[in-house]
Amino acid sequence: MAWGTSRYLAVVLTVIMVGIIGYLTWTGVMSPAGIGPLGSIVTTPPGWERIDEGAFSLYAPRGTRLRKAESNGVVYGDIVGPNTCLRYAVGARIALLADRRMHPVYAESALVVDGRRAVERKATFSTGEHEEWFPGCGAPLYAGVLFAEPGVTVEGVARTEDERDQLELIFKSIRFRPPG
């Protein structure tokens, strides 16, 4: 009889502990490495490296470099590397370049990254347009993500759909520094 009771007690305690850990992970209070709020596991291809901007970090292909500057309280810069041509701004709500009126091939969707809501846009730029906004990248396929809070915009261009998918994976790897 004692064996059955202790087995029952062990099962009940295990269920309670799993429930507590699940709740703490789901609310973002406790987040194991590599797992963000709501259990969003970020997996990146082998050889990707972490790039730390300060306000946020992200993962990108090896050899990708960050160049940043600051002006009027806004931090901005480029993230450039193999098949990667991004730019970002932190500290101000800067509208994404693509919009419905100017780009016939356009899509917009909601995205949650690191527990924060964002708007993701995709479009196809005209030749002159992508050279104006992303000089030297030679890529017409646009992808951008805007986080209203904390005021972060990251956007870039790609030559192929596979490269644009890579940009989306970079966006999903963004992790924000905790406040304070």
What is the arithmetic mean of pLDDT over 52-58?
88
Is this structure's pTM higher than 0.75? Answer: no
Domain ranges of the chain: 1-30, 42-176
User: Tokens representing 52?
Assistant: 């730390």
Partners of residue 144 on adjacent β-strands:
121, 155
42-176 topology per CATH: Protein Transport Mog1p; Chain A (3.40.1000)
For residue range 81-111, what is the model confidence (pLDDT) as tens digits? 887 888 888 876 666 677 667 777 888 899 8
- Vertex 175: Cα angle to 170 and 179 (nearest 5): 155
What is residue 59's predicted lDDT score, i.e. its pLDDT? 92
